[in-house]
């Protein structure tokens, strides 16, 4: 079975192209979530028959792969990258986070074996390019990137779930907090949350601060593993 990207695109027809099909699918996913996307639903949005779409895309898995790669283009950085490796990775990390905010359905594909396309592969290449000139072996650069990606994945998935859950239940964030607050306050007053209590009472930094701080901790660890810094926290 060949990759979707290695198959020639069928002859174009007015208003119905592979690009138009992918754009319609992304619009549905953005508005209603990934479960709403189907060949039949996309065909209806394009005023076409479902069987016609199968001339352009053989199966839904191919459609998901094309959708994922289309939005991956949004995180690509205009080259040359920032000169300093940290600034380059910070720029790409911020773009990734904004991408998931625009397309929260992207996190639904993380656990699925969706084929990686040209934009996704170029994004990986750009991340690895940030380590050029640092004297890092390819395997070490890959391990650094794995740690970086693991942090990014964990953060954006948690954030997407937190942002999406209230909407799915038909309540906003303020209403969700109002429901939980009395119970949490009761536990604090009973002294059952001695470590959480001061954080709750004084307030904690928001998601933006947590994202940047955690990301810089990860980059600090990577810096400790660079040649000449092997004795640092990242050098083991």
Categorize the per-residue pLDDT at 203 as very low, low, confident or very high, splitting at 50, 70 and 90.
low
Q: Is the pLDDT of residue 39 over 80?
A: yes
Categorize the per-residue pLDDT at 234 as very low, low, confident or very high, splitting at 50, 70 and 90.
very low
As a whole number of angstroms, the distance between CA 80 and CA 71 comes to: 21
As a whole number of angstroms, the distance between CA 152 and CA 215 comes to: 8
Q: Please check whether residue 136 is in contact with residue 229, taking contact to mean a CB–CB distance below 8 angstroms.
A: no
Q: Is the pLDDT of residue 236 over 60?
A: no
As a whole number of angstroms, the distance between CA 25 and CA 39 comes to: 9
As a whole number of angstroms, the distance between CA 137 and CA 143 comes to: 10
Same fold, 7-58 and 76-224: no
Q: Is the pLDDT of residue 94 over 80?
A: yes
Q: Is the pLDDT of residue 235 over 50?
A: no
What pLDDT, on a 0 to 100 scale, did the predictor assign at position 204?
58
Mean pLDDT value across residues 164-185 = 65
What is the domain class of 76-224 according to CATH? mainly alpha
Q: Is the pLDDT of residue 30 over 70?
A: yes
What pLDDT, on a 0 to 100 scale, did the predictor assign at position 167?
53
Average pLDDT of the chain, as a whole number:
86
List the one residue out of 122, 91, 126, 84 whose CA is nearest residue 223. 84
What pLDDT, on a 0 to 100 scale, did the predictor assign at position 172?
63
Give the 3-state secondary structure of residue 13. Answer: strand
What pLDDT, on a 0 to 100 scale, did the predictor assign at position 205?
52
Residue whose entry in the numeric block shows the structure tokens 């009395």: 182
pTM: 0.80
Task: Give the lowest-confidence range in 103-107, 143-147, 226-230.
Answer: 226-230
What pLDDT, on a 0 to 100 scale, did the predictor assign at position 191?
83
Q: Residue ranges of the domains in the chain?
A: 7-58, 76-224
Q: Percent of the chain having pLDDT more than 70?
A: 85
What is the domain class of 7-58 according to CATH? mainly alpha
């Amino acid at each position: 079975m060949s990759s979707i990207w290695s198959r020639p695109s069928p002859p174009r027809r007015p208003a119905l192209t592979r690009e138009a099909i992918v754009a319609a699918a992304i619009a549905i996913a953005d508005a209603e979530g990934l479960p709403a996307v189907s060949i039949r639903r996309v065909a209806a949005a394009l005023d076409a028959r479902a069987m016609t779409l199968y001339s352009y895309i053989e199966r839904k898995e191919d459609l998901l792969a094309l959708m994922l790669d289309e939005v991956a283009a949004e995180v690509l950085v205009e080259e040359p990258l920032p000169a300093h490796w940290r600034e380059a990775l910070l720029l790409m990390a911020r773009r990734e986070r904004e991408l998931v905010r625009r397309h929260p359905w992207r996190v639904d594909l993380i656990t699925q074996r969706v084929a990686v396309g040209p934009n996704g592969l170029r994004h990986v290449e750009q991340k690895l390019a940030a380590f050029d000139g640092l004297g890092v072996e390819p395997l070490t650069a890959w391990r650094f990137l794995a740690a970086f990606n693991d942090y990014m994945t964990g953060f954006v998935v948690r954030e997407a779930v937190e942002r999406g859950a209230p909407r799915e239940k038909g309540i906003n964030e303020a209403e969700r907090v109002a429901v939980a607050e009395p119970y949490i306050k009761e536990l604090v007053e009973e002294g059952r949350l001695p470590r959480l209590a001061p954080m709750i009472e004084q307030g904690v930094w928001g998601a933006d601060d947590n994202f940047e701080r955690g990301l810089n901790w990860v980059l600090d660890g990577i810096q400790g593993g660079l040649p000449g810094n092997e004795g640092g926290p990242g050098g083991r």
